[in-house]
Structures are given as C-alpha cells and as structure tokens.
C-alpha cells in the first residue's frame, strides 16, 4: 500500500501535518523534499490529520513534499556486525561502513516483568577508589553522574567503560560536541575496545529529533545482547540534552508544560529508559551509566531531580573529583559485604574522618585555634584527597583498601580511627610507627 501523499497542511518546528488515512500510531514515513529524504514518525492522529515528527528536521521541507508511509514502527538492525561500528541517532552509519539492514528489532519495547529480575550481586570493578571502595558500582545498576558543564564527565565515563569487565559497551551520545565524539572514538580505538563497542552518536549539530532516538536505540540493542547472555554496559551522555530535546518537541506540539517548560511526563519518559537496566534471571545484564549535566549546578533542576528519584544512586562530580557527600550507590550493600572483611568499615570510617576534616577546614578559615587533633585531621584530609579522591588514581580495590589502612596509620593512633578493634588487629600496618616518623 505505497500511497504517496504530497500535500503538507502545516509545518511547525520539526512537526509536519498531513491528511491521510489508514495510518497507525508510531508508524514511520519517508518524507522526500528538495532538502533531501528523511524518516518521520507519527506522533498524533486526529481524524484524518496525521502529525509527523521529521527526524532530519523540518527545515527545507516544502508543502508539496512527498510522504510515503512504511507500515511499520521504528526499528534498528541487530547482529554481531554492529560491533565496532558507529551510527547516527537515526541508526545510519556515521563511519564509512556499509548500511546494515538485517535482523530488524523494534525500539522502545515493553518493560521487563519484575518477576523475571534477580537481585544484583556482582560488583563492577573500575579501578577508581572513590567508586570501588566508597560507592561500589554493581552490575545492572543505573547510575548517573551529576556534574556541571565543564566537569570531566566524559573522560570519566570512557575510563569506567575501558576498565569495567563487561562483554559489550554501547555508547549513546546525545548532543555531543564533535570533539567529545572524536575523543570517545579515539580513546576506545587506542585501547582496542572499539571491537566490542557500538556507538550511536548524535552530535550537537545534528537534527534534534535524532537525539530523542539515541537512548531507545542504544538500549534496544543492549537488550538483545543481554538476552544472549552478554554483560552490557550502556553509556548515555548527556541525558539533560535528551530531556531538552523532549521539551522542544513537547512545546512545538503545544503540550502543557509542567515544570520549567519540561513536559509533565518527564519522569515517566526518563524512567522508561533507565528501567531498561536489568539483571535477567538466566541471561545477561544491562548496566547504565549516564551523564546528567546540572544547569547552574542546581540539583533541584527538574532533570537531575527526576533522575535522582529513578536511578539507584548518583555520583557527584565536582572540581574534577567524585564528591564523597551526596554521591551514593544504593546497591553497594549488596556486594561490599563479600569483597573483603574490612571493606565496609574502611568505607564508613574514612568518610567520617573526612567529614571531620571538612569541619576543621571550616574552623581554620574562621580563624579558630587548631588543636593537636585538628592538625592530624588536616594532614589526613589533604592526603585523602590526593591518594583516594584524585581521579588519576587507578588501583584495584584491594590495593586501595591497603592504602586506606596505611593512610590511617600514618595519621592516627589506632583508637582514633574509630574502626572496630577486631579489624584493627588484623589490618593495621605493623610498620606504621616507622613510616609515621
């Protein structure tokens, strides 16, 4: 039924309206105009009036453009041939490779039956002490990195991706600067990880509608790999751009905005994507790490706020470091009891001391006198920031724990550490006095 319509009734933003019959909701269409050919999706039906969202943008679409309905919803090719490839948000090759069109799968599929999920139980090792020791990442977790624009969240994502022991990496880039896209590509290529990576990249200069497709496409592909038993890590950067793209479309469609112009279903839309993170009973898993930039460093902004309610914790990136306060991995309790006996004690003990250091810094800046204890804390805090918090530190968990004990021993007497005496007997470095001297 290849009927061609060639009378566009209205064009507003990236949405065009035509009169047509026999069209179904979410069906795809091809819009051919002087500006070129683009795919479009049905986003509203009202009698014979059909609203279409044009992926490549409505710029240059003429009122006599030819619209051909394809009779199916959006889908992407899926096969092992995807690995090592780079695509646009519309799933067209961005590298110079061939177009793929086998094994087509639907995007934005139904959600997983909660009865088929299992409690996550495997730790993801990243080599970053602030994550491994203090806020352990767990397989199948969904976790955003909250950061101001300008913080190194993309390098952090790339590093985690390279070090995490996963089978497949999927990168979904939304509104990425072209430099950042090249950074990801080159970093993955240099480390040899590109061959187990699929990239769907929408750059800042691409049509905004394609940005909306990136998470769905990335996660649909991830889901297929996970069903094959693979452990998949999905990186989404930056979800704030995705939310902004949604806002743009919603306002074009004259929807009633709820909070700062964002559509009322922002929570549901974000949740539908993040909830794709899963540990399947008898199959693989999907772990989602996302970057969410906070406009104005404001965590109560609708995007980070709604995200925080959806995800299982968050990493705050501030001044190039993962902040220990505010950062949280809700799932860490599921794994950190099984790593090493001292893990939990070191985790909370060192943070409590660091909190005291922060108070001392405040006291110092107000000109109060520094006690002997304060001096110890100052030494500790300064070394903690350098040896644990700095993102350049790259050591396995066990080494980080040992380093923690050494740091404590260099700064404090055993009883000042506030750690359980049983653990102190086992782990306190015997040569502490020498190193301290």
Partner 1 sequence: MAGNTGSIVGVNGNMITVAFEGAVSQNEVGYARLGELRLMSEVVRIRGRHADLQVFEDTAGLGIGDQVEFTGELLSVELGPGLLAQIFDGLQNPLPQLAEQCGFFLRRGTYLKALPRDVRWAFTPTAKVGDKLTASESLGHVPEGIFEHRIMVPFGWRGTATVVEIAPPGSYTVEQCIAKLKDEQGQVRDVAMLQRWPVKVPIEAYAERLRPTEPLTTKVRIVDTFFPVARGGTYCIPGPFGAGKTVLQQITSRYAEVDVVVIAACGERAGEVVETLREFPELTDPRTGKSLMTRTVIICNTSSMPVAAREASVYTAVTLASYYRQMALNVLLLADSTSRWAQALRETSGRLEEIPGEEAFPAYLESVIAGFYERGGVVRLKDGKTGSVTIGGSVSPAGGNFDEPVTQATLKVVGAFHGLSRARSDARRFPAIDPLESWSKYPSLVPTDMVESARRVLRDGNDVGQMMKVVGEEGTSLEDFILYLKAEYLDSVYLQQDAFHDVDCATPAERQRYVFGFIDRLLQKPIGVKDKAAARRLFHQLTQATKDWNRAGMGSTEFRELEEKLDKLVAEVS
Q: Which residues bind partner 1 (CB under 8 A)?
A: 21-27, 44-48, 73, 109-120, 227, 255-259, 263-265, 267-268, 271-272, 275-276, 278, 280, 283, 299-300, 302, 305-306, 308-310, 312-313, 325-326, 328, 330-331, 333, 368
Characterise 116 by phi-psi region: left (phi > 0), alpha (psi -120 to 50), beta (else). Answer: alpha
Query: Min. distance of Cβ 432 from partner 1 in angstroms?
Result: 26
Closest CA to 388 of 160, 137, 147, 132: 132
Query: Min. distance of Cβ 171 from partner 1 in angstroms?
Result: 22
Phi, psi of 331 (to 5 degrees): -100, 0
Q: Which residues contact 40 (CB under 8 A, 6 or more apart)?
A: 16, 28, 29, 30, 31, 52, 53, 54, 55, 67
| Residue placing its CB nearer to partner 1 in the complex, 124 or 176 | 124
Would you say how long the chain is, in residues? 437
| Residue placing its CB nearer to partner 1 in the complex, 193 or 299 | 299
β-pairing, 168-176 vs 231-237, is parallel
DSSP 118: -
| Residue placing its CB nearer to partner 1 in the complex, 103 or 152 | 103
Query: Min. distance of Cβ 46 from partner 1 in angstroms?
Result: 4
Q: Which sign does the torsion angle of CA 235, 238, 240, 242 carry? A: negative
Query: Min. distance of Cβ 93 from partner 1 in angstroms?
Result: 26
Query: Min. distance of Cβ 313 from partner 1 in angstroms?
Result: 8
Query: Min. distance of Cβ 60 from partner 1 in angstroms?
Result: 27
Phi, psi of 328 (to 5 degrees): -160, 135
| Residue placing its CB nearer to partner 1 in the complex, 180 or 223 | 223
| Residue placing its CB nearer to partner 1 in the complex, 119 or 433 | 119
Distances in whole angstroms, Cα of residue 103 to Cα of each of 84, 221, 230, 234: 17, 11, 18, 21
Nearest 5°: the CA angle 37, 179, 240 is 75
- Indicate the helix (H) or strand (E) that contains 405: helix 397-411
Phi, psi of 380 (to 5 degrees): -60, -50
Confirm if 204 and 178 have CB atoms less than 8 A apart. Answer: yes
| Residue placing its CB nearer to partner 1 in the complex, 69 or 181 | 69
Query: Min. distance of Cβ 299 from partner 1 in angstroms?
Result: 8
Query: Min. distance of Cβ 12 from partner 1 in angstroms?
Result: 16
β-pairing, 49-54 vs 278-279, is unpaired
| Residue placing its CB nearer to partner 1 in the complex, 206 or 312 | 312
Phi, psi of 208 (to 5 degrees): -65, -30
Place of tokens 């453009």: 65
| Residue placing its CB nearer to partner 1 in the complex, 239 or 432 | 239
- CB atoms closer than 10 angstroms to residue 329: 21
Query: Min. distance of Cβ 425 from partner 1 in angstroms?
Result: 20
| Residue placing its CB nearer to partner 1 in the complex, 368 or 373 | 368
Q: How far apart are CA 237 and CA 367, in angstroms?
A: 43
DSSP 34: T
| Residue placing its CB nearer to partner 1 in the complex, 22 or 420 | 22
Token readout for 337 is 């009891």
Query: Min. distance of Cβ 140 from partner 1 in angstroms?
Result: 8
Q: How far apart are CA 80 and CA 96, in angstroms?
A: 17
């Amino acid at each position: 039924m290849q009927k061609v319509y060639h009378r566009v009734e209205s064009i507003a933003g990236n949405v065009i309206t035509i009169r047509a019959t026999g069209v179904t909701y979410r069906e795809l269409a091809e819009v051919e105009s002087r500006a070129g050919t683009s795919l479009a999706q049905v986003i509203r039906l009202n009698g014979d009036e059909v609203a279409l969202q044009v992926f490549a943008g409505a710029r240059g679409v003429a009122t006599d453009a030819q619209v051909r309905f394809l009779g199916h919803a959006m889908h992407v090719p899926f096969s092992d041939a995807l690995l090592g490839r780079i695509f646009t948000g519309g799933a067209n090759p961005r590298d110079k490779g061939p177009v793929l069109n086998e094994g087509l799968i639907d995007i934005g599929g139904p959600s997983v039956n909660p009865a088929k999920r299992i409690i996550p139980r495997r730790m993801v090792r990243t080599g970053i002490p602030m994550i491994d020791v203090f806020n352990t990442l767990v397989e199948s977790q969904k976790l955003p990195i909250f950061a101001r624009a300008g913080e190194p969240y993309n390098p952090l994502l790339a590093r985690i991706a390279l070090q995490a022991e996963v089978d497949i990496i999927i990168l979904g880039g939304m509104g990425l600067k072209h430099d950042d896209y090249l950074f990801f590509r080159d970093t993955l290529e240099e480390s040899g990880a590109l061959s187990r990576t699929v990239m769907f990249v929408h750059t800042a200069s691409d049509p905004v509608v394609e940005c909306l497709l990136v998470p769905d496409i990335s996660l649909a592909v991830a889901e297929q790999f996970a069903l094959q038993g693979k452990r998949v890590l999905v990186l989404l950067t930056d979800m704030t751009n995705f939310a902004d793209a949604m806002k743009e479309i919603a306002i074009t469609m004259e929807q009633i905005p709820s909070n700062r112009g964002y559509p009322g279903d922002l929570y549901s839309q974000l949740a539908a994507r993040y909830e794709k993170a899963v540990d399947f009973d008898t199959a693989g898993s999907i772990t989602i790490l996302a970057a969410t930039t906070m406009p104005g460093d404001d965590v109560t902004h609708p995007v980070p706020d709604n995200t925080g309610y959806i995800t299982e914790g968050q990493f705050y990136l501030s001044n190039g470091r993962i902040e220990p306060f505010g950062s949280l991995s809700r799932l860490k309790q599921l794994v950190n009891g099984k790593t090493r006996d001292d893990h939990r004690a070191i985790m909370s003990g060192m943070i409590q001391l660091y909190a005291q250091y922060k108070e001392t810094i405040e006291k110092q800046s107000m000109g109060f006198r520094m006690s002997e204890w304060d001096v110890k804390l100052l030494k500790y805090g300064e070394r903690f920031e350098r040896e644990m918090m700095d993102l350049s530190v790259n050591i396995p968990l066990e080494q980080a724990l040992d380093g923690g004990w050494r740091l404590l021993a260099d700064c404090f007497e055993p009883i000042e550490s506030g750690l359980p005496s049983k653990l102190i007997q086992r782990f306190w470095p015997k040569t502490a006095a020498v190193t301290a001297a």
